[in-house]
Amino acid sequence: MRLIHAVAELREALSGQRETAFVPTMGNLHAGHVALAEIAARHGRPVVASIFVNPLQFGAGEDFNRYPRTLQADCAQLEAAGTDIVFAPDVHEMYPEPQTFSVEPPLAGELCGAHRPGHFQGVATVVLKLFNMVQPRYAVFGKKDYQQLFILKGLVRQFNLPIVMVEAETRRADDGLALSSRNGYLTAGERTEAPRLYRLLRAAADRIIAGERNFAGIEDHVARELTDHGWIVDYVSVRNRATLLAPGTDDERFIILVAARLGITRLIDNIEC
């Protein structure tokens, strides 16, 4: 496996490749990321993973500075998962000049975007840059970041990028907690509490599958249960799964999305129903 820091070297290494499979990450990898790399390897070769903690997608007061940088351990995991190239640019390589063009995605001000202004502009901008650098045929993203995946699928469609977006199911711990690099911030007590999020989502999804259509009631119930157990809730929202808009009365495919904080840790999760 090659570790590459410079765009020019990456371009040279990938010149002529037409079936590259790409996994963009911010590092601090866990089993969910490893699964993404394995899925990538089943789609195309070479497999490229990027590791870049993107300052553009962090707001003031967020965890950009304390986001764990674990390049060596990340490379070992990616190599074991069959990755051919790790692309780890530094911030000057990624942004050699101030990034004055940016991408304005639809829905960027809703759900997570309402609580993290500028976040999805930053994500879409860096992913577009990474796509141009790597020029992959396949790009693999996890469904845990469902709004991100939705926005990036729109980016690929609307800018006619010749990339197949591969969606990967959320990987969970045995107790249901979605794997996330940020789980490492949880104290032992918070880690015990954290699986409540997915338990509540599953119960809410069961109600919808059984025919319940009082979405506001479901959202309130989940939010109240979390608040009662010490969480600070950003949002709980039932949406149309295909559009991510508020569901209409005839809709049949839904997704429940949630973001809430336990102590300093902001967790997100979702369930399709």
> Catalytic site residues?
33
> Interacting stretch for ligand PAF, rule CB under 6 A, among 2-10, 20-28, 63-71, 161-169?
20-28
Binding characters for ligand PAF, 131-170, by CB under 6 A (x = yes): --------------x--x----------------------
- Per CB under 6 A, which of residues 55..74 are in contact with ligand PAF? 57
DSSP state letters, 211-259: T---HHHHHHHHHHHHHHTT-EEEEEEEEETTT-SPPPTT---EEEEEE
> Is residue 127 a contact residue for ligand PAF (CB under 6 A)?
yes
Our CB check for ligand PAF shows the closer of 54 and 223 to be 54
* Helices of type H across the chain: 7-14, 31-43, 71-80, 91-94, 112-115, 119-134, 146-158, 188-193, 196-209, 215-228
Among 24, 46, 89, 247, binds ligand PAF (CB under 6 A): 24
> Is residue 54 a contact residue for ligand PAF (CB under 6 A)?
yes
- Among residues 85, 91, 153, 96, which one has the least CA distance to residue 124? 153
Our CB check for ligand PAF shows the closer of 132 and 227 to be 132
Distance of CA 68 to the CA centre of its chain: 16
- Among residues 86, 91, 112, 94, which one has the least CA distance to residue 29? 86
Among 4, 26, 108, 155, binds ligand PAF (CB under 6 A): 26
Asked if the bond preceding 96 is cis, omega within 30° of 0, the reply is: no
Our CB check for ligand PAF shows the closer of 25 and 237 to be 25
> Is residue 126 a contact residue for ligand PAF (CB under 6 A)?
yes
Binding characters for ligand PAF, 79-108, by CB under 6 A (x = yes): ------------------------------
CB 145 to ligand PAF: min, Å: 5
Q: Any residues with CB less than 8 A from the CB of 128 and at least 6 apart, and which?
A: 103, 155, 159
CB 72 within 8 A of CB 1: no
Residues that bind ligand PAF (CB under 6 A): 24-26, 54, 57, 123, 126-127, 145, 148
